[in-house]
Structure 1
Amino acid sequence: MPRVDAIRQVQITEQTFYRWRKQYGGMGTDQLKELKRLQKENDRLRRAVSDLTLDKLILSEAARGNF
């Protein structure tokens, strides 16, 4: 199957394909798995920071009597 047909079949643009190829093309399977794991961990930590920041804001407002 030609590359253009494969790109159309998975419904992405050629620009996306070439960007992904440039970004991930030289990585092996183990490296891609590690990247995915690190991205998930990063997302989890970002959510935790966001939750803690919100908790701090709420507690600060409550301490000032602005609740």
Structure 2
Amino acid sequence: MRTSRFSDSQIIAILKQAEGGSPVPELCREHGISSATFYKWRAKYGGMDASLMARMKELEEE
């Protein structure tokens, strides 16, 4: 499977920008991602912080 070109902290930062009120299409253009990618990230990582995301990745690798 292809790895993401965005780090965990970058994904969290993009999701936090959207929670802060930035329009999703503008964020997608700014960061060069599709809206489908954004919504997939929001479904998977929404409400997490960096430590929870790291723990989840460790569990997926096991």
**TM-score, normalised by the number of residues in structure 2:** 0.49
Greater RCO, 1 or 2 (C-alpha within 8 Å, sep 6+): 2
The structure whose Rg is larger is 1
Higher helix proportion (structure 1 or 2): 1
**TM-score, normalised by the number of residues in structure 1:** 0.46
